[in-house]
Homo-oligomer: A and B are copies of this chain.
Amino acid sequence: MHKEHTLTKNQQIIFDLIDKSPEPMKAYAILFSVQKKGIKAPLQVYRALDKLVEIGKIHKIESRNAFIACHNSSCQVSKATAFSICEICEKITEISSASLSKYLANFKDKDGMKYSKYNLEFFGLCKKCR
């Protein structure tokens, strides 16, 4: 299926934190939360985040500079991501729609440029906030 990545200590600590968090976490919020576990410097956090993004365990929400664990089993690498973002409560959900991902994976622009990756962010109001 896919290569299993054994996470290193720092990567595991930071992944667990993000994975348990009900909302996306920002890098310095992560840093403050893991200081008790011995991770003291921003770089230690950013390095783990970079790796976790690379292997698809987490995704970065670009418009928010925040990180969310991937709960989409078909999404082992961060190559095709879509999120819905509530502009009031900031609830963020990863969208997994087969038709959407199929449409975007096959999309070709006028220049014939072939894409290897995309990131889509939808903004609106969630049920609660409407």
Contact = CB atoms under 8 A, between A and B. Distances in A.
Contact of A116 (B103, B111, B117, B124): B124
Copies of this chain held together in the complex: 2
28 contacts: A62-B121, A63-B119, A84-B109, A84-B111, A87-B116, A93-B109, A93-B111, A95-B109, A97-B109, A97-B110, A103-B103, A104-B120, A107-B122, A111-B127, A112-B127, A113-B125, A113-B127, A114-B124, A114-B125, A115-B122, A116-B123, A116-B124, A117-B124, A118-B122, A118-B123, A119-B120, A119-B123, A120-B121
Shortest beta-carbon contacts, A-B, top 10: A115-B124, A62-B62, A117-B123, A115-B122, A120-B120, A118-B122, A116-B124, A62-B63, A119-B121, A95-B109
